[in-house]
Amino acid sequence: MNNVIMNGCDLHDKNMALKSAVGTEKPQTKWFGNTTEGRQRTIDYARELAKKHGAERIVFAYEASGQGYGLYDELTAAGIECYVLAPTKMEKSAKQRKQKTDEKDALRILEALRGHFLAGNDLPAMAWIPDHQTREDREVVRCRLDAQEKVTLVKTQVQSLLKRNRVSKPAEVGKSSWTVRHRRWLAEVVGEKESLPAGARVALESLLRQLAFLEGEVARLDGKLENLSKEPRYAWPVKAMRKRQKGVGTLTAMVYLTEMGDLSRFRNRRQVAAYLGVVPSSNDSGERERKGHITRQGSPRVRKVLCQAVWSAIRSAPQLRAAYQRIAAKNPKKKKIAVVAMMRRLGIRLWHIGLEAQLQAEVFKKTAA
């Protein structure tokens, strides 16, 4: 197929390595800056090649990364066919992993395109491209998760500082940490010169100020998240998940919905579990069937909230606790297996609930109209 300009791109923060070819010809290498001007030059270069070779199509591919989908948007708006490939689905030999350069990565992507357009091979699995609204919603939800992680980090730093300086909680404070009494005691420690050296008191006072600020941010973001969950695109699924599934609150539901995106793109529960990365890896050879650790593909944010929701459900729901204990009894020394199994069940159940709620919402809108 000589009427297709194929471009494999290795995208980075500041630059892009581009390998371009027509059919089986030797690829040309170009470097562009990852700026507005540089991306426009990339588009102009691809168009010039197409004009030179009389090509009817321009095809572009790069691997998904933390750069987001800005390049995809610009290429698509320019009428260029673009594929965003999932890095975890790109086959790499041991040698390729050890001899990695930008040009070789761009060439590997180009060869994947060639194999597809010239030989009819399947392209590596492509990343799902969320719409602009979903991307914006993800920013809010991810910011809320990040803020809570920072709160946990500061709390750990406080505990470590006290441990280094051999300061223990008095019995009247109680065993639990971060209660009202515990916080009041920490404030007293800051004011007592005898409890901590001067440098440690300065550090503790700073950490407590950081903690107060971050907890305030978490509270503000919770309000934003609550408002977002009431938007028409989320209201029905969030309400259904909270009502029908123990251990699931607004945060868990919103993380699940924004990270999973369009729930109808999954055809069955196996695809959902695979996307969540809670299925075992396999290493079969001959008559041997070996199952390893879970693949951990997909969003780690969803796995984290699923794990938290599972533990919450186990504590509050007798039926779920019985199911967990039944699975754990099969392998008492590895209870994590039972937790992962419950996470997989929960992830699939939320998919069913969310998909059903979305369909109900669509029917309601049509009926109301």
Task: For residue 31, report the phi and psi dihedrals to the nearest 5 degrees.
Answer: -120, 135
Domain regions of the chain by residue span: 4-119, 133-229, 232-368
Q: From residue 70, how far is each of 67, 84, 310, 347 by CA, in Å?
A: 7, 11, 36, 29
Task: Quote the pLDDT of residue 225.
Answer: 97
| Among 229, 232, 227, 253, residue whose Cα is nearest residue 353 | 253
Confidence of residue 288 (pLDDT cuts 50, 70, 90): low
Confidence of residue 91 (pLDDT cuts 50, 70, 90): confident
Task: Quote the pLDDT of residue 2.
Answer: 59
Greater pLDDT, 309 or 333: 309
- CATH dotted code for 4-119: 3.30.420.40
pLDDT digits (tens, 9 = 90+) for 189-210: 998 888 899 999 999 999 999 9
Whether residue 291 is predicted with pLDDT greater than 80 in this model: the reply is no
pLDDT digits (tens, 9 = 90+) for 233-252: 999 999 999 999 999 999 99
β pairing state of 4-11 and 57-63: parallel
pTM over 0.85: yes
pLDDT digits (tens, 9 = 90+) for 102-150: 999 999 999 999 999 998 898 888 889 999 999 999 999 999 999 999 9
291: β partners: 282
Task: For residue 6, report the phi and psi dihedrals to the nearest 5 degrees.
Answer: -105, 130
Task: Quote the pLDDT of residue 123.
Answer: 87
